[in-house]
Amino acid sequence: MYDVPLLDVEISLVLTNTAPIGPYRGAGREQAAYITERLVEQAARELGIDSVDLRRRNLVSTKSIPYKSASGQTYDSGDFEGLLDKALTIADWNGFDDRARASTENGFIRGRGLSCFVECVGAYPYEGADIRFEPNGTVIVVTATQSSGQGHETSFAQLVSERLGIPFDKVRIKEGDSSDLPKGLASVGSRSMIMAGSAIAIASDAVIEKGQSLASHVLEVSKADLEFRNGSFYVQGTDISISLFDLAMRARSLRDLPADVPTTLDSTGEFAAPGLHHPNGCHVCEVEIDPETGKVDVVAYCAVDDVGTIINPLIVHGQVHGGVAQGIGQVLLERIAYDDDGQLITGSLMDYGLPRAANLPTLSVDFHPTPSSKNPIGVKGSGEVGVTGSIPAVLNAVNDALARGGASTAIGMPVTSEKIWRCLRNVIKVPKAKRRRAPAANRTDA
């Protein structure tokens, strides 16, 4: 989010005998945000500048958008300062001192962390979609993307229903059939709604264009006299209309149509993105640390993201929740460990720590959308904003608590209880009598 004028990049190649790694949910974006936001916090701490003020003075301004970054990326939309302000308000940033004092009275150290980030997603080269009208009165939407739990069956159907005025329960989504695929690739990199959704929108527009020509022929009126709304073509100034489904049925029985009249409403849409898309967000995390054990509890979390146009809010909320859970796990729990002989000792989920419900607070999730101009539906991608924002936010919160406890913030992930305990054991003493935690249902941060 920052107006950085110059970049200096150095790449090192390292050979290792450890297990290979592969991309999953983020694939580099969260690491870039982690490094940047940790540096910002360190700079603010060493310079004695409020971390919010330091960020604010370096944000890319709204009037500078479209903005070309030093890496060559063009941000086509965004309101970074407005998004930051919204996150600080929802997180009650100004009320933190009162919560920190309450934590201290209970024998805990409270810290807060902020992260601001911009991602680059979704511009793999092309994607196609087919819309087909079936004899049984349903519409089949065929895509090459493959859902693995993101809710394509809902959001793609919703997109078609809204654009064509077709009842939602009449739309069927068909994915992953290698014998019946339009041009397309995969579901990866937050690209599904950007690429396949845009192809579906283009195919929907083609349906309406074909339908106008066919309805003009069937109703014997000029195309200029037709208006499309709520799934039907209406002759302006009359009560005469015909639905898309009726048109599709009529088309099957018509013969000797003029050359400019389509024989079917079935349509194909193809979309090639003009460049990467840039979802962005501000996340705020608060943690409590037990200095006697080093245990870290994430006690409050707020995420405000700009993912462009939101097709299905519930699904997007779920994407953010899942990403935040993943980030919390990566910061506090997850570690690939080897013994001195190079033997992997975290090779199963019996030995490898994953986040569970007990590791998560109630999440406050909101959005500050600015539609993208790089695709016909204005989406930016939402699959990875949760993990990209949470890793730096949680780590910054832990470091803030350590700094408040007088300990070093030179700590790397995962910030396990043992690491925290070792950082704090020589700098702070907390009487056991003070250590108590209110039940979660009664805590103000729940």
Q: What is the DSSP string of 307-318?
A: -BS-S-HHHHHH
pTM for the model: 0.91
Residues 335 and 417 in one domain: yes
CB 322 within 8 A of CB 389: no
**End residue of a domain, out of 271, 289, 308:** 271
Exposure string over 385-413, b if 16+ CB within 10 A, otherwise e: bbbbbbbbbbbbbbbbbbebbebebebeb
Residues 427 and 306 in one domain: yes
Identify the pLDDT of residue 433.
46
Number of independent structural domains in the chain: 2
The CA distance from 285 to 415, in Å, is: 15
Residues 181 and 296 in one domain: no
Residues 186 and 217 in one domain: yes
| Domain assignment of residue 23, yes or no | no
**End residue of a domain, out of 218, 242, 271:** 271
| Domain assignment of residue 8, yes or no | no
Q: What angle do CA 16, 18, 20 make, to 5 degrees?
A: 95
CATH of the domain at 54: 3.30.365.10
| Domain assignment of residue 7, yes or no | no
Identify the pLDDT of residue 428.
64
| Domain assignment of residue 355, yes or no | yes
CB 309 within 8 A of CB 104: no
Residue ranges, the chain, pLDDT below 70: 428-446
Q: What residue ranges in 134-212 does DSSP mark as E strands?
A: 139-143, 171-175
The CA distance from 161 to 216, in Å, is: 23
**End residue of a domain, out of 271, 295, 317:** 271
Identify the pLDDT of residue 429.
56
Residues 238 and 340 in one domain: no
Residues 80 and 172 in one domain: no
The CA distance from 58 to 51, in Å, is: 11
Residues 6+ apart with CB under 8 A from 258: 217
CB 248 within 8 A of CB 264: yes
Residues 159 and 267 in one domain: yes
| Domain assignment of residue 49, yes or no | yes
Residues 108 and 218 in one domain: no
Identify the pLDDT of residue 228.
96
Residues 254 and 377 in one domain: no
The CA distance from 61 to 67, in Å, is: 9
Residues 285 and 432 in one domain: yes
| Domain assignment of residue 11, yes or no | no
DSSP state of 432: G
Alpha helices (H) along 221-286: 244-253
Residues 431 and 351 in one domain: yes
> Whole domain around residue 298: which residue ranges?
29-121+277-442
Identify the pLDDT of residue 442.
44
| Domain assignment of residue 295, yes or no | yes
| Domain assignment of residue 20, yes or no | no
Residues 171 and 225 in one domain: yes
